[in-house]
Chain A
Amino acid sequence: MKCALFSGCRTGFDIPQHPTSAKAVLSRLNVGVEELDFGCCGYPVKEKSLDAYLLLAIRNLAIAQARHLPILTLCKCCFGALKQAEHYLATDREKLNTINSILEKEGLHYRSGGVKIYHMLTFLDQEIDKGVIQRSIVHSLDGIKVAASYGCHALRPSAITGLDTQPNAPTIFERIIQLTGAEPVQWSKGLDCCGNPLLEKNDDLAREFVLGKYETAKQEGADIICTACNYCHIQFEYGRALILKSGLTKPIPAVLLSQLLGQAMGLEKSLPGIESESAA
């Protein structure tokens, strides 16, 4: 199987380890990856202008469509933005024509539907045989307790994103984590927002949410927090820096799903938190 990898803007500078680790995992699972000249998913401009958001999102779908490839996103905000745009244009022909008239300037055209959009989680869950993943685990993460941070924009609105059939009690993230041998914990704030959308807009609130997540995850027995979204991950790094700066006890590490899988598959050299925990 072959996919067009949609890493997302924030991986270019802030978290380059996300695509690197994801590509290593995908290659281990024999998934072909193409990196097309994708642009922004549109999520960052959604609050400025609906048209701007739709143009950017649909442009990416058109690029993938021209190559007949499904899109595989690493970031939940990218996933949600693309899914919503696809949904939106499925019913609004007029908008579709407007967007297409702009895209045609660069030789692109989008036909409604017809582009499969995956997030790393849905891809692993739906397209890859569980046995294949399990067989590629060389270094089982037994005994590590993982708190999965779901990420709002992939989870909701569930009728559009379709991440899990049970949007109020999803298990897709836990199902994948379990394949590594690690143990997912029940986390009261697992489905809550990380606070990143308000970062630099209302820092007090943004801080409150991420600190709450760190605190509860630890209280509820997690050794690490697992993320599968660029913005969530950036937010956890921001929160971690805040906690370290304030001199409180060191927070539990937040790792990307692809790093967690990579570690279990023996692809990652060392991962803060995991290595030491399993050695102990």
Chain B
Amino acid sequence: MLYTWSFTIAAAVFLLGIIYRTMGFFRLIIGPEDTEITTADRVKTFLFGLAGLLFSPVRIFYFFKTAITDVVLQLPLKRQEPQKWVMHICIFWGFAALFFFHALDDYVSQALFAGYMPTLNPYMFLRNIAGVMVIVGLAIAIHRRRTHFRLKQITTKPDYFAIVLLAVIMISGFGLEAAKIISSGVFDDMVEEYSSVDYDEELPMLKAVWQEDYNVSFPGETIEVTPEILEEGRILNEDNCMACHANPKWAVVSYPISIFMKPFAGFLNGNRLDSLILAIHFLSCFLALAYLPFSKFLHILTTPISLLISGISGQQVKRDENKATRRALDLAACTQCGTCTSHCAVGPLYEIFDNPWVFPSERVTQIRESAWGKSMDAESKEAFLQGSFICTLCNKCSQLCPAGLDLQDIWMAARERMKEKFLLDPVVKVREICKENDAKKAESKGPVKLRSEQKSIVKSLKESFQATTFSHCYTCLTCTNSCPVTGVTGDIGKFGSAPHQVIHALVLGQTDLAKDASIVWDCLTCYKCQENCPQGVKITDIFYQLKNMVHHQEFGI
């Protein structure tokens, strides 16, 4: 009853979830919203491409090549990091084996293997091996997430929840098998159902064998065991049981567990706790099934597709319609494995900016959540912008991604989207702010007053960028004469359009004036002024410092 109900609910949630996700892959827009590509276009182009696959021998070749090397054997992962490969292969192969040959044994194992019985060898033995594989994989996964310094920074509760859920399935599976091994209740059920032993004479002998050889516990019963009884019992066992039931010692993990369970057999068997463990086992499986479309487990279905796409088309797919679909799919194919983040060219900046969105894996998560409708508060938006534009678009993440994601395309599309929403690159925004300030100041005509409270800023300026030199300026204008920007803009009548004015403002302690000067923000950083200054004033470095100061004031970085 519980089984049927819980399965029906889980399967329904799973199916609806998958339909919802699949529709999203064709519907969601990652990138500028102002697009003429419709969902119908995307479905059509996708189906067209799929059909095209059938007619191209080259593509069919790449399809199978990728399916074998990248999806089944996951060789790129092995080349990248052998430990990660062992971890994932253990979980992937172990779980796949259990799913098809154990969970779906009625449909798969029965059909494939003549005389299949879950209680027979080699199935009993292999089931244990598969379970061990998954547990080893999970142990490596936990170890990695707790020790790798980058993974530690990006691992969140859902990552651990996924690991724990799989662990519960595995441990309850072994627990169930062990509880059944010692269970007198299960023994009685099986005798009733499958054997033709005589209850008065033969059953005690069979019980003796199962107690001695098979580790069944019969609490409250005294089973007489003598060599003669065992001999008789073994014959009975051969006639009645062995055709369908191997010695549970072949359950290489569950059997030792059953030995540990034996002292508690009275309690366990008396209350039929094996059925409780069974409930935990199937309920955790069904929970995983229902949870799949809404969690990183979805990658089980999406990552093979994204790997196949990148195997056939390379990093960039051709048509814009497919690009749009691929972006939405790729976001759901991310496994949060952290490879991109560990190798990110600007990832180390997390230590300075304390902004998780400098990490590509965190941005993928954010973009996915936003695309599926989760809103962001203003402060996070600001930080996300910072992180997005710190990215140098070096493409390393796309080249390394074990799931074959075209992250470069996602970053570029996201930038387009932000531009559309007038969310500017902070570097650009800061320029706008300063230039605006500058214009306002130009309107006020009063005389410039020296302000003493600026001293600390001046002091910090002198310390940083080793720019201790601005007070040596004697306004010879060599900087301005060598400045290519002033050369082009021509007019130095307005304050702030020439480098020497900025230096002079600093000499006078007018940091505010200096930081808003247009030349600071239009500086090419060509270092011509600094190179030519007869007084050794580090003009370009001072400009850098002023820009740093404004970034700090505006964004707290």
Q: Which residues of A contact B (CB under 8 A)?
A: 9-14, 37-40, 44-52, 55-56, 59, 88, 91-92, 102, 105-106, 152-153, 155-158, 167-168, 192-193, 195, 197-198, 200-202, 205, 208-209
Stretch at the interface among B22-30, B247-255, B349-357: B349-357
B544 x A47 contact (CB < 8 A): yes
Chain B residues closer than 8 Å to A168, beta-carbon distance = 531
Given A12-B395, A12-B399, A152-B527: A47 touches B427 (CB 8 Å cut-off): yes
Distance (whole angstroms) from the CB of A83 to the closest CB of chain B: 12
Pull 10 A–B residue pairs with CB atoms less than 8 Å apart, ordered by A: A9-B392, A13-B394, A13-B408, A44-B392, A47-B548, A55-B351, A152-B528, A156-B528, A156-B531, A209-B484
* Residue from B352, B523, B525, B538 within 8 A of A49 (CB atoms): B352
Give Cα distance in the complex from A13 to B411, angstroms.
Answer: 12
Output the nearest chain A residue to B525 by Cβ-Cβ distance: A197
* Residue from B431, B524, B548 within 8 A of A209 (CB atoms): B524
B547 near A: Cβ within 8 Å?
Answer: yes
Give Cα distance in the complex from A11 to B392, angstroms.
Answer: 11
Chain A residues closer than 8 Å to B522, beta-carbon distance = 198, 202, 205
A47 x B348 contact (CB < 8 A): no
A50 x B527 contact (CB < 8 A): no
Chain A residues closer than 8 Å to B552, beta-carbon distance = 49
A13 x B395 contact (CB < 8 A): yes
A200 x B425 contact (CB < 8 A): yes
Chain A residues closer than 8 Å to B528, beta-carbon distance = 152, 156
A52 x B345 contact (CB < 8 A): no
Interface SS majority for chain B: helix
Total contacting residues, chain B, CB less than 8 A: 51
Distance (whole angstroms) from the CB of B198 to the closest CB of chain A: 72
* Residue from B348, B521, B557 within 8 A of A48 (CB atoms): B557
B54 near A: Cβ within 8 Å?
Answer: no
Distance (whole angstroms) from the CB of A246 to the closest CB of chain B: 19
A193 x B524 contact (CB < 8 A): yes
B466 near A: Cβ within 8 Å?
Answer: yes
- A-contact bits for B365-402, CB 8 A (1 contact / 0 none): 00000000000000000000000001011111001000
Distance (whole angstroms) from the CB of A233 to the closest CB of chain B: 15
Distance (whole angstroms) from the CB of B553 to the closest CB of chain A: 12
Give Cα distance in the complex from A105 to B344, angstroms.
Answer: 16
A39 x B485 contact (CB < 8 A): no
- A-contact bits for B280-316, CB 8 A (1 contact / 0 none): 0000000000000000000000000000000000000
Chain B residues closer than 8 Å to A102, beta-carbon distance = 348, 351-352
B551 x A192 contact (CB < 8 A): no
Chain B residues closer than 8 Å to A14, beta-carbon distance = 393
B149 near A: Cβ within 8 Å?
Answer: yes
